[in-house]
Amino acid sequence: MIIVKSPREIELMKEAGRLVAKVFETVEPHIKAGVSTYELNKIAEDVIYAAGGSCPCKGYYDYPAGTCVSVNDTLIHGIPSKKIILREGDIVSLDVVACLHGYCADATRTFGVGILKDSVKQLMQVTKDAFYKGIEKAKPDNHVGDISNAIQEYVEAHGYSVARDFTGHGIGKSMHEDPSVPNYGIPGTGALLKAGMALAIEPMILEGKKETRVLGDGWTVKSRDGKLTCHYENTIIITESGNEIITLTEGEKNINV
Ligand code: MF3
Ligand code: CO
């Protein structure tokens, strides 16, 4: 069942969204060669706890950290570790869910470490643009499959793959609610969208083949072919006229994507 949020609930979700954005603003200057993914997670958690928020990922099926920090061929669910140290040319995604006053917001940014190859920049740009292609379809009376298809078509037209085993999702009091929002699908299928629904739309993109594997830690998801991966995510609210993104940083709001 898809929960339609009241205006009051949407206000609370926006507060959670601002907190997630603040995490990105705080962590980004620390993304440099030599820093560990443990340190990045610690900075992120500290921002959330200092604001009185909570991290629903921590303890979710025993997941051990507040955020996921995924480097290069790790697509999602990288467990922060003192042993994973960023190097020049890496890309690192930070997936942040924060709950505040009972409501959650969820977003992911992939950052570059130092100077990146053009092919890596292109992967990052296509992943972000795929999100925007998807949300062009996120409006009342469209279907979830319209979003999914737009993401898939855009990504595959650039020669990349979309992950199959992991999806975006509804969000609200819980970080995962109905519906699931795959990054692949058929237009006109899936749940009907209505104003007041909240969705986490999250293209998870592989530079090479679509297959993934999960490491023995039970969490870390990597590309099977060892090629690069990228992830970009925002929480959006379906509005009468389309949608509103609630997890953008102030800097991002000032740039016309
Ligand atoms: N942001 C992730 C998601 O969209 C949160 C899950 S992380 C987990 O599903 F580690 F808690 F699973
Ligand atoms: Co999510």
**pLDDT band for position 121 (cuts 50, 70, 90):** very high
Distance 176 CA to ligand 1 centre (A): 8
Task: Indicate whether residue 95 lines ligand 1 (CB < 6 A).
Answer: yes
CB 90 within 8 A of CB 113: yes
Q: Check whether 257 has a pLDDT greater than 70.
A: no
What confidence score (pLDDT) does residue 92 get? 99
Nearest CA to ligand 1 atom 1: 95
Nearest CA to ligand 1 atom 4: 168
Please choose, from the candidates 88, 158, 123, 89, the residue with its C-alpha nearest in 3D space to the C-alpha of residue 230: 123
Across-strand partners of 221?
76, 214
What confidence score (pLDDT) does residue 255 get? 82
- Please tell me whether the overall predicted TM-score, pTM, comes out greater than 0.85 for this model: yes
Fold of 7-247: Creatine Amidinohydrolase (3.90.230)
pLDDT tens, position by position, 193-232: 999 999 999 999 999 999 999 999 999 999 999 999 999 9
Q: Which atom of ligand 1 is nearest to the CA of 60?
A: 11
Q: What's phi and psi for 44, nearest 5 deg?
A: -65, -50
Can you give the residue ranges of every domain in the chain?
7-247
Tokens standing for 86? 């960023």
CB atoms within 10 A of CB 38: 16
Nearest CA to ligand 1 atom 7: 57
